[in-house]
């Protein structure tokens, strides 16, 4: 496998919901990489949808809060790989 592109990003939420954070991370990655309805990764030059794939990995969770409520910061790492 060859890594074509890699980046890290955070998803901030006011509620503790890992599934929703993962859904948001997936949507963020697809938008950032400009993936179209046919599965082409337009942000990667010469991308080939038959051999390229997107991997999103959960890295960490940071919780901050107190009397006024809590904030949950989910960190993810995304990469585009080629077989």
Q: Residue 64: pLDDT band by 50, 70, 90 thresholds? A: very high
pLDDT at position 33 is 97
Average pLDDT over the chain, rounded to an integer: 94
Give 12-81 as a 3 state SS string: EECCCCHHHHHHHHHHHHHHHCCECCCCCECCCCCCCCCCEEEEEEEEEEEEEEECCEEEEEEEEEEEEE
| Predicted TM-score (pTM) of this structure | 0.89
- At 26-62, the pLDDT tens digits run 999 999 999 999 999 999 988 888 899 999 999 999 9
For the segment(s) 2-82, the CATH number from 3.40.50.800, 3.40.50.2300, 3.30.1660.10, 3.40.50.620 is: 3.30.1660.10
Task: State mean pLDDT over 1-12.
Answer: 95
| Residue spans per domain, the chain | 2-82
Greater model confidence, 22 or 66: 22
């Amino acid at each position: 496998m060859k890594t074509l592109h890699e980046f890290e990003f955070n998803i901030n939420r006011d509620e503790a919901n890992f599934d929703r954070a993962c859904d948001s991370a997936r949507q963020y990655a697809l938008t950032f990489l400009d993936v179209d309805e046919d599965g082409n990764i337009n942000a990667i030059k010469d991308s080939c949808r038959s051999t390229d794939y997107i991997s999103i990995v959960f890295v960490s969770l940071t919780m901050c809060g107190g009397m006024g409520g809590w904030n949950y910061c989910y960190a993810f790492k995304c990469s585009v790989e080629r077989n």
